[in-house]
Structure 1
Amino acid sequence: MDGYLVEQIRAAEAHVFELLDPDVLMQRAAAGLAAAILRRLDGAYGSRVLLVVGSGNNGGDALWAGVRLARRGVVVRAWRTGAKVHQAGWDAFLAAGGREVGRDQALADLQGWDVVVDAVAGIGSRPGLDQPVADFAESCRASGVRVVAVDLPSGVAPEPPFVEAPHFTAALTVTFGGYKLCQLTEPGRSACGEIELIDIGLDLSEPEVYQWQPADVAAAWPVPSSDSDKYSRGVVGLDTGSPDYPGAALLSAAGAVYSGAGMVRHLGPLPVINRVLDAFPNVVAAQGRVQALVIGSGWGQRKDTKTVAKLMAAGVPLVIDADALRQLPGAGRPTALLTPHAGELAFLLGVERSAVTTDPLAAVRQAAERTGCTVLLKGATQYVAAPGVHTVQLAVPGPSWTAQAGSGDVLAGIAGTLLGAGVRTATAAVLAASIQALAARATPGPVPPQQLAGTLPTVISALLDAEP
């Protein structure tokens, strides 16, 4: 699932317009929209559909789709939210038997509509809705009526910066040509519901983001062969936890052990090591060679502020989490993975947290270029950026209840396992975040992160068995 900026969609449309009449794209969009609605009706004849149309091409798409629905026996009505409307679409809609209703009737009959089609605003509009459309959108949400959004839910910003504003909440979003960033990233993704992409013949450029799917995770997950041993599978070193925060050491060890590390060495303080060995007797406390190292989780205030710089210079693949992020040297490397949440990333960039949350895509890219490291920005949407690479990768999304203390420690351990197995840094980051999300999907929550970590072997096995 590739995600694009509005300007990329517009440029691709302009190229098609040089070759075809613009109405051709509208008819392709309308046909796809009508088909998507018909598949979700309990029979076409006699079903009731309300079109809420604005003045732009989104309204035209909906009106032409309404023509097709009316011809199949659907009772179609339209509320014009503004003074203007797509005239050719409106004329065809009335000729096909469609009828206009006002706002009051649209609202009074709310429970009688099988589908409300949101076609108020498109990708060129500003976030938010004017009255009385905002009130109607909220009434739709509160009543549970099924809303189908045309291209994107009206009121939602199509791309960063994201702001809180009144918007429709859709059960289905039918989008055209390419996915928009709001459909793949929060907070827009939750407003879109199911997303169906209609190919209207656009030739799009390099995507801004790539959304991983479970099949991608299965295909990229490192599987040991019959001649693998604990060393070839990867030895992961953990310098995590402290006397004040021993739980971080236990959780990072759980992430590494349950995601399939060949061997886990714990290199933290002795009191912490003893706690880890009590929980995981397969962890090794002795010093030795490692293929990857996880540092920072639960460190607290360490007196030695040169640790990260020394390890960065040593060249071993690194996962740098939590407190270690405050010790970054001036120059990093792409084989070092930083795993900040929004607040930590704001610290790294020297900006307010709100600057990260309103435009996380720009922030994670800036962090990768500034530090020279690969960056995994944790949150409701998890972004992975690598220096010199334009397309940002998005992990498979998971349920929001996974955002709890300790989840990041488990994630760091999983990422360390993958780096130790030889997985490239950016891929390891996306895999780690994705498998944790898939485990959360598979486990009715909320459950604590240590319990979720224990489900990883089952989730990984099921995922690999499902891969054709």
Structure 2
Amino acid sequence: MRAAHTVAQVRAAEAPLLEGLPPGALMQRAVHGLLSHAVRRLGRRVYGSRVVVLAGGGDNGGDALWTGARLAARGARVDVLAPGGTHPESTAALIAAGGRLHRVAAPGVAAPGDVPAETAEDNSGTLPDELVATLLTRADLVLDGLLGIGGRPGLRGAYARLAELAPPERTIAVDVPSGVDADTGAAPGTAVRAALTVTFGTYKRGLLLGDGAAHTGELALVPIGLDLPTPDLVALDDTDVAALLPEPGPADSKYTRGVLGLVGGSDRYPGAAVLATGGALRGGAGYLRVVAEARAAEHVRGAHPETVVTVIEPGDAEAMLAAGRVQAWAFGPGVVPDAAARRLLDALIGTDVPLLLDAGALDPFAEAFAAGFPAEPGAAAGRDVLARRGAPVVLTPHEGEFARLTATALGWDAAETRRELADDRLGTARRAAAALGATLLLKGNRTLIVDQDGAARVNTTGTPWLGSAGTGDVLTGLTGSLLAAGLGALDAASVAAYLHGMAGQLAPRPLSAADLPATLPAAIAHVLAGAAG
């Protein structure tokens, strides 16, 4: 499990070490780890290699400069590009090892005046932009130490120019890519894109979230001895998922392994029920009851004869519940969000088992949440109804559905919500989960799973190829099956997102949603092998 912390938590954990250790000792711990990754990236051919250090004035710049000094001492040509002041001790060490320090400015801008003249090899003027570009183009390795975890997102001036010129495939970011918000992952404007980010002490939230994840590349952690609190965000790995996967025992039957009730499909969208059924059959539950309108039911029977299918008329809640006892319900794929769907929703809210709502169930849920559920006469608010259920509700929107859901259910401004998602995806999801009293699986390039108490997980598997119609239906079925098999809401949603993303990575290219159910066994085998080895 990868644990991520906020900048404030990291600062607080660093404080006692900075007080108790000799000056610079904590930085040298970071430098030792960074150096090993730099040497590995150079293929252990340090002598004669070309290394460029992008150095700001903070500790990240110091880490990069000390690493540059070590590489220069081993025979690398090391050039430092500094838009402003640099860390004094590490700058002196780099110059003593034969490195070169250059002042840089954005094209057409006067040179900064705060690079120490006594440490610069040539401080007669700003290095021309074309020479800056040449150094970066020819570099075998670039170390990005422009800004640290306290830097603001988005770069300007010479900082932005260096980020634009740095070759992503040969750049290592120090602790966090410059221009990425270390807490939120926001990266408006220009930010460094790295092939590898070497982070110290703990993962920073912004390295796992949103745009920050896209700028981070591969992620490596260097322990430096921090005593950290409970993580603010976690990402599961193979070992975690393998430990959570339901595994039948010798005394289990199809009933004891869990029964899922899946309500989906319609005459308009019959295929969604087929896709959701495919995901559900791979989630660990032993028995699947599918409740669908006639056309969708026919499609499910043809594709998955192992399912037990109940045909209902639109909105017939009594017939739906009469399909049989289940350990969880999943409702929404292929459902038309109309008055008939609302009747089914009200009935499902009144049950006492975990309930997953997706796609066509989300708009009726939002309307019912705002108006109150008939299942709880006299309830003051939708959140009170959910709290009284005694079993969790899981909501699985993508960003557009999330904006509509929160606008209708909570009165949020949809346009402002989209901006807040871009600025602080995790914070916005946390506020919504708390206000709704539900577990939220917010789909995206880094899917977030957040429960009503604020516990949060980010999924790190997946591929852009999953951005196609129907893949979410498979995820709904898979998550519902894991709920029925006995996993809690946070675990079921997290494991499902992980396996769904892994299946996407293993599926043929270009993939379609129909590829995913058949690929899920390979994804599970991959996870189990990773956990074992």
User: Equivalences for 1:187-336 in 2 at 5 Å?
Assistant: 187-286=211-310, 287-304=323-340, 305-328=342-365, 329=369, 330-331=382-383, 332-333=386-387, 335-336=392-393
* Counterpart amino acid of residue 441 in structure 2: L
CA contact (8 A) 2:398 2:443 kept: yes
The corresponding residue for 1:47 is: 49
2:166 paired residue among 140, 143, 160 = 140
Contact 2:433 2:452 in 1 (8 A): yes
SS in 2 for 1:230: coil
Q: Does 1:60 align with 2:62?
A: yes
The more displaced of 192-201 and 13-22 is 13-22
What is the rounded CA distance, in whole Å, between the counterparts of 2:485 and 2:343 in structure 1?
A: 27
Counterpart amino acid of residue 132 in structure 1: A
Q: Contact 2:462 / 2:501 at 8 angstroms: preserved in 1?
A: yes
Q: CA deviation at 1:163?
A: 4.3
Residues 386 and 465 of structure 1: CA distance in aligned 2, closer, same or farther (over 3 Å)? same
SS in 1 for 2:69: helix
In the alignment, the residues of structure 2 paired with residue 147 and residue 392 of structure 1 have an alpha-carbon distance, to the nearest angstrom, of: 30
Inter-CA distance 162–111: structure 2 relative to 1 (3 Å threshold): closer
Aligned mates of 2:529, 2:179 — CA distance in 1: 41
Contact 1:214 1:396 in 2 (8 A): no
Equivalence for 1:8: 9
Counterpart for residue 122 of structure 2: none
Whether contact under 8 Å (1:157, 1:182) holds in the other structure is yes
- The match for 1:184 is 208
Amino acid at match of 2:331: I
Aligned length: 464
Aligned-pair CA distance for 1:152: 1.1
Whether 1:81 and 2:83 are equivalent positions in the alignment is yes
- Structure 1 match to 2:396: 339
The 8 Å contact of residues 48 and 74 in structure 1, kept in 2 or not, is answered as: yes
CA–CA distance in 1 between the matches of 2:460 and 2:248?
Answer: 23
Q: Cα distance 1:458–1:376, how it changes in 2: closer, same or farther (>3 A)?
A: same
| Cα distance between partner residues in 2 of 1:16 and 1:284 | 61
Contact 1:346 1:355 in 2 (8 A): no
1:306 Cα deviation from its structure 2 partner: 3.9
Partner of residue 106, structure 2: none
CA distance in 2, matches of 1:257, 1:197: 37
Map 1:335-414 to 2 at 5 A: 335-350=392-407, 351-352=413-414, 353-388=418-453, 390-414=454-478
Asked whether the equivalents of residues 49 and 74 of structure 1 are also in contact (C-alpha less than 8 Å), the reply is yes
Taking structure 1 as reference, are residues 130 and 321 closer, same or farther at Cα in structure 2, changes over 3 Å only? same
**Which secondary structure does the structure 2 equivalent of 1:175 belong to?**
strand
Cα gap change, 1:450/1:260 in structure 2, threshold over 3 Å: closer, same or farther? farther
Structure 1 counterpart SS, 2:306: coil
The answer to whether the Cα contact below 8 Å between 1:70 and 1:76 also exists between their aligned partners in 2 is: yes
What is the CA distance between 1:175 and its match in structure 2? 1.1
Match of 2:227, as an amino acid?
D
Task: Quote the Cα distance in structure 2 between the aligned partners of 1:54 and 1:325.
Answer: 47
Change (3 A) 1:312 1:17: same
Alpha-carbon distance in 1 for matches of 2:161, 2:28: 31
Please state whether the residue corresponding to 1:66 is helix, strand or coil: helix
Write the distance in 2 (CA, Å) between the matches of 1:356 and 1:190: 16
Deviating 4+ runs (over 4 angstroms): none
Which AA in structure 2 matches 1:362?
A: G
Is the 1:126–1:157 Cα contact (8 Å) retained in structure 2?
yes
Query: 2: CA distance between counterparts of 1:349 and 1:452?
Result: 30
In structure 1, C-alpha distance between the alignment counterparts of 2:25 and 2:151, rounded to whole Å: 22
TM-score for the superposition, normalised by structure 2: 0.83
Contact 2:64–2:143 under 8 Å retained in 1 = yes
**1:361: how far off?**
0.7
Partners of 1:237 and 1:145 in 2: CA distance: 47
1:309, distance to aligned residue in structure 2 (A): 3.1
Partner of 2:498: 434
Deviations 1:230-266 (A, max 9, x none): 1112211111111111121111111112334312111
- SS state of the match for residue 455, structure 1? helix
Q: What stretches of structure 2 of length at least 5 have no aligned partner?
A: 103-126, 311-322, 370-381, 408-412
Structure with max Cα Rg: 2
Establish whether residue 172 from structure 1 lines up as the match of residue 209 from structure 2.
no
- The alpha-carbon deviation at position 301 of structure 1 amounts to 3.0
The corresponding residue for 1:160 is: 184
Query: Contact 2:52–2:135 (CA<8 Å) still a contact in 1?
Result: no
Identify if the C-alpha distance between structure 1 residues 312 and 173 changes in structure 2 by more than 3 Å, giving closer, same or farther.
same
Deviations 1:95-154 (A, max 9, x none): 12212233543322333311011111111111122223323322334xx65011111111
The 2-side partners of 1:130 and 1:24 are apart by 32
Superimposed CA distance per residue, residues 413-455 of structure 1 (whole angstroms, 9 cap, x where no aligned partner) = 0011101111111100001111010111112322111112221
Q: Distance in 1 between the 2:349 and 2:434 partners?
A: 16
Distance 1:323 1:428 in 2: 21
Deviation at 1:466, TM superposition (A): 4.5
- Note the C-alpha offset of 1:364: 1.8
RMSD over equivalenced CA pairs, Å: 1.8
Deviations 1:208-250 (A, max 9, x none): 1101112221121111123322111221111111111112111
Which segment drifts farther, 107-116 or 216-225? 107-116
The whole-number CA distance in structure 2 between the counterparts of 1:342 and 1:147 is 31
TM-score (norm 1): 0.94
AA aligned to 1:112 is R
